[in-house]
Structure 1
Amino acid sequence: MDRRNLLPIGQFSQASGLSITALRHYDASGVLVPAFVDPVSGYRYFRRDQVRTAQSIRALRQLDIPVEEVGRLLDGGEEELVGALQAHLRAAERRLEVQRSMVHSLLGRLTEGAEMTHRVTVRQGAAERILVRGATLDNSRLDAFLRRAYEEIYQVAGRGPLTFTGPAFVRFHGVCDDENETLVEACLPFWEDGAQPTHLPEGMTVRELPETALACTEVEGAAASFPQILGAYDSVADWITEHGFAFAGPVRMVYRRWTGTPDAPDNRVEIAWPIDEPADDQAVSGGSGTDRDAVGRG
């Protein structure tokens, strides 16, 4: 083996900016295999033209791209790598936007203290028959799912035709953000005494929701888009907790006014959480639709 065009692992480490430990790891994972391994000493040698590949690996790993994905991208050619980097940049910018909003929200909580940021009311939600299309997903897939789900739901509703008894809403059975998946249900209420849906597509069902009290707050415009809207969920949850009520079902996001564009100024959505009566005498009195005078902090 002519080693004049080869670099021993120590020199290659200096040239590439990767530690010897990292180079051994990338060799074992098949991402960056030495050009030659001395059968006697076990020393690894790399070609000089592998330095640029190693530098690319270092940069990709600094972007928190998994080792297995790095290997696949390097094998896929320049066009695939460029596309992956652009997608990674968009995702990073979105994460930064979410983090910026979270920081502003936390700073608001710290500086505003107990000041009210979302007005919480209680209303009585009637029993409803609803068309439901559900899926388990995280926030990155939420908008696309809801668009498809409501297209399917309104197609079914139009064949009836069904008589709608209220605005469309979404039920979240858990935390739906960039790190957590949960069951999400797109819902449309319709009149149970009128025409009924037929020939439901796979994954769509008819559900009966019981009458229930709902703790609610409304947000408009940019405040109705993610992640700003999380403050509204927090406010309602805080209010329910502080007043001794019990959470009685999945939280709802009700489309009171929706343009189709998430951050449009004319959008208005309601966060409505089903609740049960307080467990003690600290309940706040009031009937259906009565405005309760305490508010959570968003």
Structure 2
Amino acid sequence: MRPLISIGRFSELTGLSIRALRLYEEHGLLAPAIVDARTGYRFYRWHQRAVAERIHRLRELDMPLELIARCLHGELGVGAALEQHGAALQAELQQRAQTLQRVREAQTSRALPDFEVRIRRQRAWPLLSLRYQTSLSRCEADRHEGYRSLRQRAARLGTRAAGPPHAHHPPQGGFDPDDYAVVLSLPVRLAVPGSEPGVGGLIAFTRLSGDLTTLLHAYQALGDWLARSAYRRGGPSAERYLCLLRPGTSPHTEVWAPVHPVKEGL
């Protein structure tokens, strides 16, 4: 029997970074064959390289980890997973095309604001999240109500907010201003039942003040900056509501996305 392979050597053999291997372990995609109880060192078997290669190929297609897990666990065939992933990409492409059209229309009426994009390092606080459907006419009230609900849940669970709430909008086959999805998340100081890992590491962000009429321009500015920078996107963009922690103040919103230096890609 061939000897076990250390995680460092396995990383070299598969072309996957150690960080990627740990991420795949966390999501149940590729667990080490043995974890030394005393040192925490991880070891793999030779036959696991085939699984690692399959994960790597699917990740090159930007397939979500949850979908890859269903393939590896036999819940979904690779062909069906590719079809499902392709449909999601097509829906996202359609939504982005519609957003781009609105941005172009806005450009004809007035000049785009000058958004400065900066980089910071963010701590990955645990998140309590809430998903709901809203519309442009209800979004402000729903956001405040969602934030109130998340704060109450955090208090019941014995923790408190670690920073401003943020939200992202899952793709759903195009943007409907009268009915679209929002996932509102609140970073909290303690991991509690129902919480999930937060987004940490390097963050690219830009800010806008006042109402959200220039929000699409902020997203566009961030996307343009990423396209020409030395960073690649590490996850979806989100909105961070800096004003909700201080009721009565003028709105300040941050549009951000996790990023990685290009040469550190998974």
TM-score, structure 1 length as denominator?
A: 0.46
Partners of 1:130 and 1:165 in 2: how far apart?
A: 9
Alpha-carbon offset, residue 240 of structure 1: 0.5
One-letter amino acid of the counterpart of residue 239, structure 2: M
Deviation, 1:147, is: 3.4
Letter of the 2:252 counterpart: R
Q: Does 1:272 align with 2:261?
A: no
Q: Which residue of 2 aligns with 1:209?
A: 198
Residue of structure 2 equivalent to 1:219? 208
In the TM superposition, residue 258 of structure 1 has moved relative to its aligned partner by: 3.6
- Which of the residues 138, 153, 156 maps onto 1:156? 153
Residues 183 and 238 of structure 1: is their aligned pair in 2 closer, same or farther, counting only changes over 3 Å?
same
Secondary structure of 1:238's match? Answer: helix
C-alpha separation in 1, matches of 2:258 and 2:135: 22
CA spacing shift, 1:185–1:126, aligned 2, 3 Å: same
2:146 partner SS: helix
* Counterpart position of 1:105: 107
Aligned residue among 219, 236, 240 for 1:233? 219
Counterpart residue type for residue 255 of structure 1: Y
Q: Distance in 1 between matches of 2:224 and 2:253?
A: 19
Of residues 165, 181, 184, the one that matches 2:182 is 184
Report the Cα offset of residue 209 of structure 1: 1.9
- Letter of the 1:211 counterpart: G
Hey, what's the Cα distance between the residues in 1 that align with 2:146 and 2:249? 24
Q: Which consecutive residues of structure 2, in runs of 5 or more, have no partner in the other structure?
A: 1-100
CA contact (8 A) 1:221 1:265 kept: no
Bigger Rg, which one: 1
Task: Provide the C-alpha distance between the structure 1 equivalents of 2:244 and 2:227, rounded to a whole number of angstroms.
Answer: 29
Structure 1 stretch 170-179 or stretch 144-153: which is displaced more?
Answer: 170-179
Q: 1:172 to 1:270 in 2, by over 3 A?
A: same
Aligned partner (choices 105, 116, 120) of residue 117 of structure 2? 120
Name the counterpart of 1:172.
Answer: 169
Supply the AA of the counterpart residue of 2:190: E
Residue 151 of structure 1: how far off its partner (Å): 2.8
Give per-residue Cα distances to partners, 1:5-34, cap 9 Å, x unaligned: xxxxxxxxxxxxxxxxxxxxxxxxxxxxxx
Structure 2 letter corresponding to 1:124: R
Instruction: Give identity over the alignment, percent.
Output: 20
Offset, 1:126: 1.3
| Residue-by-residue CA offset, 1:216-260 (whole Å, 9 max, x unaligned) | 0111013xx1x3211111101110112153222121211112489
Report the secondary structure of 1:239's partner residue.
helix
Distance 1:278 1:220, change over 3 A: same
The reply on whether 1:253 has 2:239 as its aligned counterpart is: yes
Q: 1:276 to 1:134 in 2, by over 3 A?
A: same
2:188 is aligned with what amino acid?
F
Q: Secondary structure at the match of 1:207?
A: coil
- Secondary structure of 2:195's counterpart equals strand
Kept after mapping to 1: 8 A contact 2:159/2:190: no
Q: Is the 8 A contact 1:163 1:190 kept in 2?
A: yes
Assess if the C-alpha contact under 8 Å between 2:240 and 2:256 holds in 1.
yes
Counterpart CA distance in 2 for 1:215 and 1:100 is: 23
Task: Name the CA distance, whole Å, in 2 between partners of 1:153 and 1:120.
Answer: 29
Q: Structure 1, unaligned stretches of length 5 or more?
A: 1-98, 198-204, 281-298
For residue 168 of structure 1, report the CA deviation from its aligned partner.
1.2
- The amino acid that maps onto 2:124 is A
Tell whether the 8 Å contact from 2:151 to 2:160 is kept in structure 1 after alignment.
no
AA partner of residue 256 (structure 1): L
Distance 1:228 1:119 in 2: 14
